[in-house]
Structure 1
Amino acid sequence: MAILPEPVTLSLICILVMMCVKILMDQTKKNKYHFPPGPRPLPLIGNMHILDIKRQDYTFMELAKTYGTFFTFHFGRAKAVVLIGYEANQEALVKANYDFGDRAPMPIADDFQKNHGVIFSNGETWKITRRFTLSILRDLGMGKRPIEERIINELQYLNALIGSHNGKPFNEKVFYNATPNITFSILFGRRFDYDNPNYKKMIGIIDDVVKLTGQPEAKYYNVFPIIKYFFKTPGLVVKRVNELNEVLHEMFKEAQEAKTEDSFRTYSEAFLQKQEREKATETTEKIFTEKNLLASTFDLMVGGTETTSSTLKWAILLMMKYPDVQKKVHDEIENVIGLERPPKWEDHKVLPYCLAVMHEVQRFGNILQYLPHSTPTDVSFRGYTIPKGTIVVPLFSSVLYDETKWEDPRGFNPNHFLDANGKFLKRDEFFAFSKGRRVCAGETLARMELFMFFTGMLQKFSFTPPPGVKKEDLDLTADPFFIMRPKRYYVIATPTI
């Protein structure tokens, strides 16, 4: 007669069998994935001990000299893959755009966006919101005459502000004033005086958020979320965004009162109309919620004001640093369109040098090191198998400074965008707006603004350093916040006529 094992013994055997099965499954799963080589990680902190937290792009480009253009980097316990240079980024973001098309978690932003908006979201929320946003921006005239007229109008206010300094030094913050009004006109249907309290409050909060999210505390928080309970920065970011939302609530209230069933004049009105229609359906997962409206508005405000304004700051600094370039810009403007009528977007076809200079400002200024992506599924890439949810670092700096693609990658050289006959040369290596599924939604608007504001200011003024400051003294080192801004500088504007 067989002797049956005791119940306790049987339970232990079952547990041991289950543990063995799990170990075998984990090992099989582990063997399934094959990451590219990279620096050896330390326990818990990974490779963070070798990372320049402010200029991560410098660290990654240096590591590429050892590990190549596709390597593994450990952010704490999380494995990431880094894409270096044009070829790797083009292959991943453009040719394999779906495989690398999700947004990776960013706790400093996720705390207030919570998978809403058009920049930091994923899944259906992102797809529907982005599709809606692109459609409404086109309907509101992005890249067309209605927006062009707003830019021309705003240019007059900006030039009047510059001229009000009467040849005395002023700081670069002046160049921040104009571009927010273009975005706000799309969002709210109006422009604001530069001294309007709500206007100053909104751009002040955006300025603070850009600075705070670029602090080392915020960047370490993105890797080690536990430090949220030990540092003030994450809480301050949420506090400032909540303050911005209070102002936006008032703006949306006005939009709610102004909206009609069949038409819209602004992004917020169009969003609220979709919200009303969605409420009438039986859809369980609502996309057009108030939270998504706030998040999308925040994304458009940051993407449509901070990036463009910072680029214009770089432009004027570089014109002071390279007066020979500034003179060629002046000469082309005067010889082709004159000094009277304001520039139009159509003029970019007949002002190739101005267009090349503006592109080179964007390339040299390199205002965004990267925004992390992630893999939505298991991905095979360059002979490696990367698991779903892996962080991806598409390093824009490495494309814009790719030594194999640019004649003078670390210098300022508008000839990068001119052919032998002086005509504008479009470059695939120009990644200033990213590429692929996550390309900047407002790229067309930004191109228009940058060209027209830049040529419009240079048409009316020459920009020089203050007395006692030589061009050699001008610092081209960036302030590495969330956006790579130029350091504080002062400038004198002298009328051209």
Structure 2
Amino acid sequence: MMISVILISLVLFLLSAQFLNMQWKSRGFPPGPTPFPIIGSIWWINFRADHQSLKKLAKTYGNICTLWLGHRPMMVLYGFQAVKNGLTNNSEDVSGRLQTYIFNKLADGKGILVSNGLIWKQQRHFGFGTLRKLGMGNKGMERGIQTEARYLVEFFRDKEGEAVDPSFPIVHAVSNVICAVVFGHRFSLEDKTFHQLIEAFDYIVAFGNSRFYYMCEMFPWFAEHLPGPLKKARFSRDFVCSFVRQEIKSHREKGRRDEPEDFIDFYLKQLEKTKNVPNSTFDEDNMLQSVFDLFLGGSETTATTLRWALLYMLVYPDIQDKVQKELDAVLSPSHLICYEDRKKLPYTNAVVHEILRFSSIVLITIPREAVKDTTVLGYHVPKGTLIMANVDSALFDPDYWETPHQFNPGHFLDKGGNFVTREAFLAFSAGHRACPGETMAKMELFIMFCSLLQKFKFTLPEGVKEINTDFVFGSTMKPHPYKLCAVLR
């Protein structure tokens, strides 16, 4: 009995000491909910970084506030000014990526997306330099996108106006663009392995902003021994890695390093070139993870945005009609859509940008980490502090958008009907960790969207009166499954 009392007293003492220590540490940070031992203050947003909880957090504590992920402080930025300045002022100082239990399980600090230091600099520089060689942002990439747009048009034409869920054909078309660049080949719509690949990525993305994700980060010892979402996420990642390893093996056997045709070829050539270079981070693990990251970044977000694009055309048929009238007035029916056409199609270009703004598929950036003591928005930020930017709040900031909660292409048009850029358009984030695939994503979205609307009028299936425009919560905000009819114009 006495031992139990002593143990309980000791635990209470340690918890109290940690509680007081956390209050002391939180003095120099922006205001926020009271942090408690072990759980921090993430409980305040109910272990879920969604629209309402982050809005409530900002309303209570201000546009710059602090949450504690366990014992780690995390600055939360809300609204355009806080997000922009927080990510771009002293941008290099906050360019780190947090190394957490889950990230280490899924990436182990390798590749491009969640790596740091020399690995991040070398892999990112090589990765996107190689993508440029393979045509990113120019005619080489454009031809690949036009090819997939043609297959997508053929898919809908074959359905002859019957009701169909557009999700998988869209994912298939968008993913095949990056597949051709990374693997050197595309997949057919019936390929079972490709279906499994997409399902695996879908699960990893859904897991990434779930309540279970936050619980795993806070109680890793607990998550390690339980079956469930984490185990399935690791299984999904292992499946993808097994597939990529097979692709690498196949590329090695073909031996095209003298005349590389795709990303894996270029990486194998780089391995040979740097095998005796000190401090080189080029190895098979980084190659595998870089391929994983490029596939994830080059497919998930653009496919989700295109799904929203067609859904909005069902919701706003008048806007669909205006886009088609502009396409008809400027381009001939046989014209092959190219990215340069956006300069002649200001209304259509504005609609594409409004789709990106209004769908706001990434609510928050993957948290960044201060790589050294620095200053963020007037606050002293010690090395290791996390920074989480609510990008969604910039895209809906009432101080910078006339009708933030309405789908309004006029946000990107001046009084003369000319396309204009907007400073609060941070759909691709900002600073050192901004999305480097922005140009590629815009090319894909514009070419595929215009190619579809040039050929089809999209309508609701017979008998469907209501459209669900709520999102399915996850790392990206997807629309609920829906069906449409593509009627040949």
Query: Normalization by structure 1: what TM-score?
Result: 0.90
Please provide the CA RMSD for this pair.
Answer: 2.0
Who is 1:142 aligned against? 136
Partner of 1:492: 485
* Structure 2 Cα separation of the partners of residues 105 and 231 of structure 1: 23
* 1:113-128 correspondence runs (5 A): 113-128=107-122
Q: 2:252 corresponds to which residue? A: 256
Q: Indicate if the aligned counterparts of 1:110 and 1:120 stay in contact, CA closer than 8 A.
A: no
Specify every segment of 5 or more residues in structure 1 that has no aligned partner in the other structure, as ranges. Answer: 1-22
Q: Is the partner of 1:81 in helix, strand or coil?
A: strand
Secondary structure at the counterpart of residue 490 of structure 1: coil
Q: Per the alignment, do residues 224 and 407 of structure 1 end up closer, same or farther by CA in structure 2, a change over 3 Å counting?
A: farther
Q: Does structure 1 residue 468 correspond to structure 2 residue 463?
A: yes
Structure 2 matches for 1:60-459, cutoff 5 A? 60-173=54-167, 174-228=169-223, 229-281=225-277, 283=278, 285-370=279-364, 371-459=366-454
Which consecutive residues of structure 2, in runs of 5 or more, have no partner in the other structure?
A: 1-16
Deviation at 1:225, TM superposition (A): 2.4
Count, aligned residues: 466
Aligned counterpart for 1:34 among listed residues 6, 28, 37: 28
TM-score scaled by length of structure 2: 0.91
Distance of 1:295 and 1:59 partners within structure 2: 33
TM-fit CA distance, 1:231: 4.7
What amino acid is the match of 1:489?
Y
Change (3 A) 1:37 1:215: closer
SS of residue matched to 1:58: helix
Q: CA deviation at 1:238?
A: 1.2
C-alpha contact 2:135 2:141 (8 A) present in aligned 1: yes
Q: How far, CA to CA, are the matches of 2:257 and 2:317 in structure 1?
A: 54
Task: Specify the code of the residue in structure 2 equivalent to 1:332.
Answer: E
Shift of 1:44: 2.7
Alpha carbons 1:33, 1:387 under 8 Å: kept: no
Say whether the 8 Å CA contact 1:259–1:273 is kept in structure 2: no
Q: 1:441 to 1:310 in 2, by over 3 A?
A: same
Deviations 1:157-188 (A, max 9, x none): 11111122111111132322201110001101
Query: Letter of the aligned partner of 2:213 in structure 1?
Result: A
Check the 8 A contact 2:367/2:388 in 1, yes or no: yes
Three-state SS of the structure 2 residue aligned to 1:170 is coil
Percent identity of equivalent pairs = 33
**C-alpha displacement at 1:54, in angstroms?**
4.0
Residue 99 of structure 2 contacts residue 109 of structure 2 at CA under 8 Å; is this kept in 1? no
Note closer, same or farther for the CA distance 1:31–1:246 as it changes in structure 2 (3 Å cut). closer
Q: How many angstroms apart in 1 are the aligned matches of 2:411 and 2:333?
A: 27
Pair 1:387–1:138, CA change in 2 (3 A) = same
Q: Secondary structure at the match of 2:486?
A: strand
Q: C-alpha offsets along residues 97-134 of structure 1, whole Å, 9 cap, x if unaligned?
A: 11221112343332121111111111100010001111
Deviates more, 1:388-397 or 1:55-64: 55-64
1:42-61, CA deviations, whole angstroms, 9 ceiling, x for partnerless residues?
33322233214444342122
Q: Structure 2 vs 1, CA of residues 56 and 91 (structure 1 numbering), >3 Å: closer, same or farther?
A: same
Please give the per-residue CA displacement for 1:427-479, whole angstroms capped at 9, x wherever unaligned: 12111111111111211111100100011111111111111112xx1111110
Displacement after TM superposition at 1:33 (Å): 7.2
What SS does the corresponding residue of 2:28 show, helix, strand or coil?
Answer: coil
Structure-2 change in CA distance of 1:275 and 1:401 (3 Å):
same
Aligned partners of 1:31 and 1:146: how far apart in 2? 53
Q: 1:32 to 1:157 in 2, by over 3 A?
A: closer
**C-alpha distance 297-415 of structure 1, shift in aligned 2 (>3 A):** same
> What does the per-residue CA deviation read over 1:260-281, in whole Å, with 9 as the maximum and x for residues that have no partner?
4543211111111111122233
| Letter in structure 2 aligned against 1:40 | T
Q: Corresponding residue for 2:6?
A: none
